[in-house]
């Protein structure tokens, strides 16, 4: 019973770390990359659709990205979604492709991105704490119902704390790397 609870908590925490990694990838550092656009949703025939599913990306220069839609009818919708996104990009449409030139990163903009990354890291840590709380409730319930002894429950709780700490440390390490990457000129 306790092993199942810990295994489920481990899986959920691993997924939370992966989600944080994806969130960090959406924050721009020096070079334009398609991962920055993974969270951009386009209203495609009335349904919100990820931009990655609607277009291909090319990276001809460090700050330029060419977005070629698979369906030309979606060109204006993609351009609108890019303009409304929080990437600070100004897309230009030539009828076939959308050219996105990202502005030079100023020190002020870098600090804004650091704040954004810290917020995303804190959200991931909150997710970790919620997973831990749920697993701890499951452990307490197992001990209360008699499915596990008190010693097993306290051992499981210690394992859960160690698991939470290791995953939180992983997020902290990712945050430090991303901050250093952002502040590097």
Tell the residue number behind the tokens 């002020």, with chain if given.
108
Tokens standing for residue 121: 């890291």
| For residues 165-177, average pLDDT | 93
Span(s) in the chain for CATH 1.10.132.20: 105-182
Q: Which residues pair with 67 in a beta bridge?
A: 57, 98
Helix, strand, coil in percent for the chain, rounding step 5: 65, 15, 20
pLDDT(34) > 80: no
Which of these, 28, 29, 73, lies nearest to 55 by C-alpha position?
73
Q: Among the CATH numbers 3.40.1390.10, 3.30.360.10, 3.30.1360.40, 3.40.50.300, which is that of 32-99? A: 3.30.1360.40
What value does the mean pLDDT of the chain take? 85
- The per-residue pLDDT for range 83-123, each reduced to its tens digit, is 887 766 778 888 888 888 877 777 887 888 888 889 989 99
Residues with Cβ within 8 Å of 171's Cβ and at least 6 positions away in sequence, in order, are: 17, 20, 121, 124, 125, 128
pLDDT(28) > 70: no
Structure confidence at residue 123 (pLDDT)? 92
Span(s) in the chain for CATH 3.30.1360.40: 32-99
Residue 93, CA distances (Å) to 19, 60, 71 in order: 32, 16, 14
Instruction: pLDDT band for 125, please (50, 70, 90 cuts).
Output: very high
- The per-residue pLDDT for range 59-88, each reduced to its tens digit, is 888 778 888 888 888 888 888 888 887 766
Tokens standing for residue 64: 């330029």
**CB atoms closer than 10 angstroms to residue 12:** 18
Structure confidence at residue 171 (pLDDT)? 92
Cβ burial of 162 (10 Å; 0-12, 13-18, 19+) is: exposed
pLDDT(159) > 70: yes
pLDDT(31) > 90: no
Give the fold, CATH level 3, of 105-182. Topoisomerase I; Chain A, domain 4 (1.10.132)
């Amino acid at each position: 019973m306790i092993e199942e609870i810990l295994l489920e908590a481990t899986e959920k925490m691993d997924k939370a770390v992966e989600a944080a990694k994806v969130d960090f990838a959406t924050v721009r550092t020096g070079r334009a990359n398609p991962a920055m656009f993974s969270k951009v949703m386009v209203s495609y025939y009335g349904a919100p659709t990820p931009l990655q599913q609607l277009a291909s990306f090319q990276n001809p220069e460090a700050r330029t990205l060419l977005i070629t839609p698979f369906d030309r009818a979606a060109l204006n919708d993609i351009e609108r979604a890019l303009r409304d996104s929080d990437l600070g990009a100004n897309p230009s449409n030539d009828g076939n492709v959308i050219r996105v030139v990202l502005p030079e990163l100023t020190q002020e903009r870098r600090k804004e991105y650091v704040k954004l990354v810290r917020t995303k890291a804190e959200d991931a840590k909150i997710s970790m704490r919620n997973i831990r709380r749920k697993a701890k409730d499951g452990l307490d319930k197992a001990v209360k119902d008699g499915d596990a002894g008190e010693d097993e429950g306290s051992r499981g709780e210690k394992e859960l704390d160690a698991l939470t700490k290791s995953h939180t440390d992983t997020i902290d390490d990712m945050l430090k790397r991303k901050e250093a990457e952002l502040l590097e000129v």
